[in-house]
Structure 1
Amino acid sequence: MSTLKNLFKHTFVYGLATVLPRVLTVLLTWLLTKYLDTESDFGEVSILFTYIVLLNVVLTYGMETAFFRFYNGESATEKTIKTSLWTLVVTTLVFAISSIFWIEPVARLSDINVSYWRWVVGILSFDTLMVIPFALMRAKNQSLKYAIIKMINVVISVGTSAVFLIATQKMTSLFTWLPNDKKELFFISGCMASALTLLFVSKPYISKFYIDISLLKRMLRYSWPILIAGLAFAINEALDKVLLQWLLPLDEKAAKEQVGIYTACYRLAIGMTLYATAFRLGVEPFFFSQSKDKNASQQYAMITKAFVVLGAIGMFVYIVLLDVIKPLLIGKPSYLVGMKITPIVVFAFFFFGIYQTLSVWYKVTDKTRYGAYISITGAVLTIVLNVVCIPTIGYMASAMATCAAYGLMMIVSYSMGRKHMPIPYDIKNIVLYIILSVGFSSVFFYLLRDYFGIGSIQLYLAGILMTAILVGVIWYREQPLLQQILRRKNES
């Protein structure tokens, strides 16, 4: 179980490093919903973030995962580091320089201020240049260093955003050299944080320019399906905001208001997003480093069940506490009208987390094209459900589409993996825990919450009882696994 010990140790540290940037998103959500003038303003910022997510995938084109694959598989690790590092530098420079020509037409097409787009180009460029330095830290198990730098980024981002959104509004003299547009100030703060953080991870750039063309070709052959899969994932995660803007039968301002409400309540699912992301950061390097081990299949199966066991309990507890958490995440009550979508989004990210652990089969066998096929399948379902249902049921369609897409991806990945790399998953118990957690969460939020009343003692007593039942069932069936996890975490 030493393998599991190390995995959870690094997952815990990566979790801290992930929690704080995500807390940044939460704090920024609170700041933006509190201090931007209207829901429409927040909706416009959310739409622009959709484009950031999509462009970020394009600019990194799967090079991070390719780096892990060849860093572990190549004897000449320096070649892998320099080739991936300098290749991203070249393509990022091309992107930044070419933005001079495309930025104004894109601004007109997207109906978003060109000034915002200029800062976004800076954010995207700096963030892309940080990809390989951060990946190198993960590959070397420098999780503490990784966490500290991420924390510094958080402090800078939150600090500058708070200053720009709150303090500068009372200091009108500053507007002689700063814009007075709150949305532009927010993007300026993001660009500043990215630029300063790049300085902290710039050490790998103190090297001679070098690209091994032969190695680069192999890395690109490996990474292009990851690019496709990443785009498909970005569509699943973010495109719904743009589709809502386009497809809602409302005027432009009202549509952006609905996007703002949807995005705020979507981000209430932050708890499960944090858990799934932290687990991925810890487990991805592990998958590759253990791929040659004779017991790798058993370890992969154990890790997946551990994710489901802990996630099932955590997900239900999070749903029970949503009404306690919501004032900490959203600045104005007017956004909470869309809260009915939040449990569905939580379920979606639980399914996605399971999918990530199941995806080991195509990553370690260099069959990444199957990851692209699976993600494309999810993206197609997302687009179809949004296009068909948004005009009728609004943003509820977007939440349901996200959940359906990730659920489908989870099932398809498991089915395909059985043929290409049989792993002895405990499917019977995994499915049981998923059904119990999703079922309990749905009953609590959509039935008991209305029946007993939000915030009532009876409601939380019911939540405690249901939590005890869920934990009792899982403990009865998984006592050895839970004891091993808890013991190893305590030892570490």
Structure 2
Amino acid sequence: MSIAKRLASQTAIYGVSSIVGRVLNTFLVPVYTARFAAAEYGIVTGLYAYVSFLNVLFTYGMETTYFRFANRPDTNRQELYDRVMTLLLISSVVLTAVLAALARPLMSLIDLPPGHEQYAVWIALILGLDAVAAIPFARLRLENKARKFATIRTANILVNVGLNLFFIVFCPDVLAGKYLAGLRPLVESVYNPTIGVGYVFLSNLVASGVTLLLLGRELLDFRPRLNLEPLRPLLRYAYPILLMGMAGMVNEMLDRVMLPKWLPKGFYPGQSNLTAVGIYGACYKISILMSLVIQAFKYAAEPFFFAQSTEKNSPRTFALVLKWFTLCCAMLFVGVSVNVDLVARIFLQRAEYRQGLSVVPVLLLANLFLGVYWNLSVWFKLTDKTYFGTYLGFAGAILTVALNFLLIPLLGYMGSAIATLACYFMMAALCWWLGERHFPVPYPVMRLLAWLTIAVGVVAVSWWTPVAAGWARYGFHALLTLGFVALVAAVEGRRLRTI
């Protein structure tokens, strides 16, 4: 099987869990926006913003570190697995206990009244369980056990989605007498209406526990090894990745942390700041369609890039991968942005959420550049110069903080979206510029920029051309989308067939 076909095949398998599975999870957004007011959904958005930072802290770069050291010829993979697992297990127990003890201060960060401390305890347990599962999942990827990886990930999503539907839709409907009234006594025994949005976190916790059980074989293969000396090179490699991950979370999540604190009171008439966070968070979920593709690609490509690093033609391979990755993401950007009205009717059930739709194209383009940056970052991972990733991440974080600080009071959540786009574009540009000096790869930069410019132009035409609402508007948008896809196929299709 050719290199390109092998990568595409593994990406498709991983997509079962990271795209198909997470799409099921994403389709919970219509449930949340139908059942919860924007202010309630703002609680979920706000808490999961902090979870993203803490998730980086709990794993502190050990997944990438494990891949790097496992691919060295003199490495005993079993000993490496045991050492990394021992380290993560100890740190996860300690961090989970500390976080659970700080439940009340964490709740105050998003202005929740006392009485919801259990949310923070559940989040602490979720983070601990997911951190322990991280290296067994990495081992499955390293050993090319994509189907098992995909099966377990999909099971996690199905359990999570199923419990969300049970607690947020089924139980309230039975109690309200909409159907199956005979099950009311059973439902009353397992469902507590006062938990409310807390069932989002509780469902996640149960799903994380099930995942750990399904990884039983990988966990039973682990033998504790606590020898500090062999761990030092691992930690030296990992700590820049930890810092880079924290900076990355600033770039990705700081807007939802800053919005409730920095948005002027009454900026959106008749809405609280927590409502604004809920609206922005729901609209951000639409843009995550781009990051789902990136995540699926990343699962397959990270071990692939390391394995290809010793090949003579690896720079040409990396350039080819980036080109087609960018073109596929550009088509997704156009498809969602142009047809965002139709997409919003599926995802955003209440009209109050649709006030923020203008941020969706900006955030989709931002996530596209994040994917480009991730592709370009292969040079400093392969050359063991991960500190460059730290520098780039912190540069992006500084820009993110500054732009959110300046733009939120002026533009509200659109300011946060623009800050995200500016950050990821700058990081991608700087990463390419530095890579040209340390690990030259013949990326078709000007050609890709031309395609992205055309894609932005198509989206702008769709947004600013006055067409009456209804089927005429949907038809016009469909033609624009198909026209862009046909243009890409006509210009680049012959090259793809040749490859």
Q: Conserved in 2, the CA contact under 8 Å of 1:323 and 1:454?
A: no
Distance (Å, rounded) in 2 between the aligned partners of 1:219 and 1:311? 34
Distance (Å, rounded) in 2 between the aligned partners of 1:120 and 1:253? 28
Structure 2 residue corresponding to 1:399, chosen from 412, 417, 425: 417
Q: Per-residue deviation at 1:477?
A: 4.0
Moved more, 245-254 or 375-384: 245-254
The alignment partner of 2:27 has SS state of helix
The alignment partner of 1:384 has SS state of helix
Distance (Å, rounded) in 2 between the aligned partners of 1:459 and 1:160? 35
- Summarize the Cα distance change of 1:158–1:459 in structure 2 as closer, same or farther, 3 Å threshold: closer
Matches within 5 A, 1:339-418: 339-418=357-436
Q: Conserved in 2, the CA contact under 8 Å of 1:288 and 1:364?
A: yes
Give the residue type in structure 2 aligned to 1:274: L
For each residue in 1:220-253, what CA deviation from the matched residue of structure 2 results, as whole angstroms up to 9, or x when unmatched? 1111111111111111111211100101112797
Q: Per-residue deviation at 1:459?
A: 5.2
Moved more, 3-12 or 112-121: 112-121
Aligned position for 1:275: 293
Distance (Å, rounded) in 2 between the aligned partners of 1:109 and 1:261? 19
Give the residue type in structure 1 aligned to 2:445: I
Aligned position for 2:331: 313
Aligned position for 1:298: 316
- Summarize the Cα distance change of 1:481–1:90 in structure 2 as closer, same or farther, 3 Å threshold: farther
Give the TM-score, by structure 2 length: 0.91
Q: Per-residue deviation at 1:12?
A: 1.2
Give the residue type in structure 1 aligned to 2:216: S
Structure 1 residue corresponding to 2:476, chosen from 433, 438, 461: 461
Distance (Å, rounded) in 2 between the aligned partners of 1:476 and 1:211? 58
Matches within 5 A, 1:427-466: 427-444=445-462, 446-448=463-465, 451-457=466-472, 460-461=475-476, 463-465=478-480
Q: Conserved in 1, the CA contact under 8 Å of 2:333 and 2:361?
A: no
For each residue in 1:206-231, what CA deviation from the matched residue of structure 2 results, as whole angstroms up to 9, or x when unmatched? 13211443332111111111111111
The alignment partner of 1:111 has SS state of coil
Aligned residues: 480
Matches within 5 A, 1:226-265: 226-250=241-265, 254-265=272-283
Aligned position for 1:426: 444
Q: Conserved in 2, the CA contact under 8 Å of 1:453 and 1:459?
A: no
Aligned position for 1:58: 57
Q: Per-residue deviation at 1:463?
A: 4.2
Distance (Å, rounded) in 2 between the aligned partners of 1:465 and 1:405? 28
4+ residue stretches of structure 1 with deviation over 6 A?
none
Q: Conserved in 2, the CA contact under 8 Å of 1:358 and 1:410?
A: yes
Give the residue type in structure 2 aligned to 1:102: L
For each residue in 1:367-411, what CA deviation from the matched residue of structure 2 results, as whole angstroms up to 9, or x when unmatched? 111111111111111111111111121100011111111111110
Structure 1: gaps (5+ residues): 486-492
For each residue in 1:88-124, what CA deviation from the matched residue of structure 2 results, as whole angstroms up to 9, or x when unmatched? 1010011122235322233334433312101111111
Structure 2 residue corresponding to 1:154, chosen from 152, 157, 163: 157
Moved more, 218-227 or 474-483: 474-483
Moved more, 294-303 or 23-32: 23-32
Structure 2 residue corresponding to 1:332, chosen from 350, 362, 383: 350
Aligned position for 1:216: 231
Q: Per-residue deviation at 1:127?
A: 1.0
Distance (Å, rounded) in 2 between the aligned partners of 1:202 and 1:463? 47
Q: Per-residue deviation at 1:301?
A: 0.8
Q: Per-residue deviation at 1:34?
A: 1.2
Distance (Å, rounded) in 1 between the aligned partners of 2:316 and 2:339? 35
- Summarize the Cα distance change of 1:453–1:218 in structure 2 as closer, same or farther, 3 Å threshold: farther
Structure 1 residue corresponding to 2:139, chosen from 117, 136, 140: 136
2:459 aligned with 1:474, yes or no?
no
Distance (Å, rounded) in 2 between the aligned partners of 1:204 and 1:406? 36
Distance (Å, rounded) in 1 between the aligned partners of 2:138 and 2:234? 15
Aligned position for 1:196: 210
Q: Conserved in 2, the CA contact under 8 Å of 1:229 and 1:371?
A: yes
The alignment partner of 1:430 has SS state of helix
Aligned position for 1:67: 66
Distance (Å, rounded) in 2 between the aligned partners of 1:9 and 1:363? 24
Structure 2: gaps (5+ residues): 176-183
Give the residue type in structure 2 aligned to 1:389: L
Q: Per-residue deviation at 1:462?
A: 5.4
Give the residue type in structure 2 aligned to 1:166: V
Q: Conserved in 2, the CA contact under 8 Å of 1:63 and 1:84?
A: yes
Aligned position for 2:178: none
Give the TM-score, by structure 1 length: 0.93
Moved more, 209-218 or 145-154: 209-218
Give the residue type in structure 2 aligned to 1:427: V
- Summarize the Cα distance change of 1:167–1:478 in structure 2 as closer, same or farther, 3 Å threshold: closer
C-alpha RMSD of the superposition: 2.0
Structure 1 residue corresponding to 2:124, chosen from 121, 124, 138: 121
Q: Conserved in 2, the CA contact under 8 Å of 1:475 and 1:482?
A: no
- Summarize the Cα distance change of 1:157–1:214 in structure 2 as closer, same or farther, 3 Å threshold: same
2:196 aligned with 1:179, yes or no?
no
Q: Per-residue deviation at 1:312?
A: 1.8
Give the residue type in structure 1 aligned to 2:407: C
| Percent of matched pairs sharing the same residue | 32
The alignment partner of 2:144 has SS state of coil
Q: Conserved in 2, the CA contact under 8 Å of 1:313 and 1:467?
A: no
Distance (Å, rounded) in 1 between the aligned partners of 2:189 and 2:335? 49
For each residue in 1:302-324, what CA deviation from the matched residue of structure 2 results, as whole angstroms up to 9, or x when unmatched? 11111112222232122233222
